[in-house]
Amino acid sequence: MSPPPKVAIIGAGPGGLTLARLLQQHSIPVTIYEAETSRQARNQGGTLDLHPRAGQLALKEAGLLPEFLKHARPEGEASKIMKYDGRVLWDDNVLPPWRPTAEGEQERPEIDRVVLRDILLDSLLPGTIQWGKKLLGVQEDEKIKGKYNLSFADGSMEMGVDLLVGADGAWSKVRPLVTPEKPFYAGITAIELWALDVDKTNPWLGKFVGQGSMFMFDEGRALMCQRQGSGAVRSYAAIKRPENWAEECGIDWEGPDARERLVNEYFADCGADLQRVILESKDVLIPRKCWMLPVGISWKTRPGVTLLGDAAHLMTPFAGVGVNVAMADALELAKALIARKDSVTAKLLSDSKNITIALEAYEKSMLKRAEENATKTMHGLKGHFSATGSEERAGKIQKGYDMMMAKKAEKEKGF
């Protein structure tokens, strides 16, 4: 019997971890190479909502849905929509919960990214992850086509990889093997602001934002705030500006007056409460540029190498789908590989042709899903930064609410 294939996943983000878990469940050996030095090395950021047919489905197949539901926060789905002048257009926080539930679960519960990562990390066999392995480059083996040699920043190498999966995010070092496309600036810079432990430090802020998210969309600017499981409020004051705006606008982002200047120069006509969110989010301030890959990116399958998640199809966060798409990719890739492994007509998975057939099947539907979600994200970007963005979002929620109430009324009447 031929030896099992050498499978290397680059990146221990939600996509790479989900893939590793699914493959291990089917006894396919896998190693993850992660640039960070440990699971605690970096603050993993904010909260994410997992969709039933994407993130939640991948966790279900991975046998991790019960663990997810233990930590998920259905109340995090609450939305509050505001107009720039301070008018509240919609507020779930003042209504009883009304969103549709699937099998008794809220449809898109939130989970903190760090908790999701821990669930996935804890599900892997010991030794699966090699921490502190930052991939620098990949060379195809000179003698055996379709096998890859990996070089890491610590000087080490991994030779003869049969299947290389780039799950290494926006600035993937694996991507150049399949496409020359690179991320480009999407026209938006978001100033990330944190206020920690708001119930203790600033109860007003916690109450104002509510249990879930608070959004203000307007022409060329937006304010998006979200309650975290940790008790913090993370906000993005985002504006449509050229790529070098953050460096050239004259605001010293590390200076004591950065928030005041941001408010005075870009949010001066906004309601006092909206301004207060920016001014009182004092714990962290990080300017972040939004990057994306082209909508409809595609490539011809290259034997022995593929991409998933942001590495394959980086999108801006304006539809909130990135993690879900990454986990759906992982599920689909795992299924394609497992199907070839178990197929009685196919040869063993270690046959490189067999891997290529699996990759072709995976990439066909992955690229289609990527295009659909990237298109949705572009609509999201337009809506978030348009003069009627808040009204449109509030109207959409109102429509969903009215439909739910009509259904409820029919049920009560016994129809």
Ligand X SMILES: Cc1cc2nc3c(=O)[nH]c(=O)nc-3n(C[C@H](O)[C@H](O)[C@H](O)COP(=O)(O)OP(=O)(O)OC[C@H]3O[C@@H](n4cnc5c(N)ncnc54)[C@H](O)[C@@H]3O)c2cc1C
Among 7, 10, 19, 358, binds ligand X (CB under 6 A): 10
Among 7, 8, 14, 208, binds ligand X (CB under 6 A): 14
Q: Are strands 213-218 and 79-82 parallel, antiparallel or unpaired?
A: parallel
Whether the CB-CB separation of 136 and 152 falls below 8 Å is answered with: yes
Residue 251 in tokens: 């605001």
- Tell the smallest beta-carbon distance from residue 135 to ligand X (Å): 4
**Residue list 145-184, contact with ligand X (CB under 6 A):** 167-169, 173
Query: Which residues are CB-contacts of 42 (< 8 A; sequence separation ≥ 6)?
Result: 36
**Residue list 291-310, contact with ligand X (CB under 6 A):** 309-310
Number of residues that bind ligand X (CB under 6 A): 28
Residue 141 in tokens: 């083996």
**Which positions from 126 to 145 touch ligand X by CB under 6 A, shown as an x/- string?**
--------xx----------
Query: Cβ closer to ligand X: 164 or 198?
Result: 164
**Residue list 314-343, contact with ligand X (CB under 6 A):** 317, 320-324, 326
Query: Cβ closer to ligand X: 309 or 380?
Result: 309
Query: Cβ closer to ligand X: 16 or 389?
Result: 16
Residue 377 in tokens: 């994200």
CA 45 to chain CA mean position, Å: 11
Whether the CB-CB separation of 181 and 293 falls below 8 Å is answered with: yes
Stretch that binds ligand X, among 11-19, 79-87, 140-148, 210-218 (CB under 6 A): 11-19
Classify the phi-psi angles of 27: left when phi > 0, otherwise alpha if psi is within -120 to 50, otherwise beta: left
Q: Does 238 contact ligand X by CB under 6 A?
A: no
- Residue 413 phi/psi, 5-degree rounding, is -80, -10
- Tell the smallest beta-carbon distance from residue 408 to ligand X (Å): 29
Whether the CB-CB separation of 145 and 79 falls below 8 Å is answered with: no
**Residue list 351-410, contact with ligand X (CB under 6 A):** none
Stretch that binds ligand X, among 13-21, 99-107, 212-220, 349-357 (CB under 6 A): 13-21
Classify the phi-psi angles of 319: left when phi > 0, otherwise alpha if psi is within -120 to 50, otherwise beta: alpha
- Tell the smallest beta-carbon distance from residue 169 to ligand X (Å): 3
Among 5, 11, 206, 380, binds ligand X (CB under 6 A): 11
Torsion of Cα atoms, 18 then 102 then 336 then 49, to 10°: -40
Query: Cβ closer to ligand X: 221 or 340?
Result: 221
Among 12, 278, 336, 366, binds ligand X (CB under 6 A): 12
Torsion of Cα atoms, 252 then 258 then 263 then 266, to 10°: 20
Please provide the DSSP assignment of 70-100 as one string. HH-BGGGG-EEEE-TTS-EEEEGGGS---S-
Query: Cβ closer to ligand X: 165 or 338?
Result: 165
Query: Cβ closer to ligand X: 337 or 357?
Result: 337
Stretch that binds ligand X, among 4-12, 248-256, 263-271, 357-365 (CB under 6 A): 4-12
Classify the phi-psi angles of 317: left when phi > 0, otherwise alpha if psi is within -120 to 50, otherwise beta: alpha
In angstroms, the CA 298 to CA 410 distance is 47
**Residue list 17-56, contact with ligand X (CB under 6 A):** 33-36, 48
Query: Cβ closer to ligand X: 111 or 357?
Result: 111
Among 15, 109, 146, 389, binds ligand X (CB under 6 A): 15
In angstroms, the CA 301 to CA 298 distance is 9
- Tell the smallest beta-carbon distance from residue 364 to ligand X (Å): 19
- Tell the smallest beta-carbon distance from residue 10 to ligand X (Å): 5
Residues that bind ligand X (CB under 6 A): 10-16, 33-36, 48, 134-135, 167-169, 173, 309-311, 317, 320-324, 326
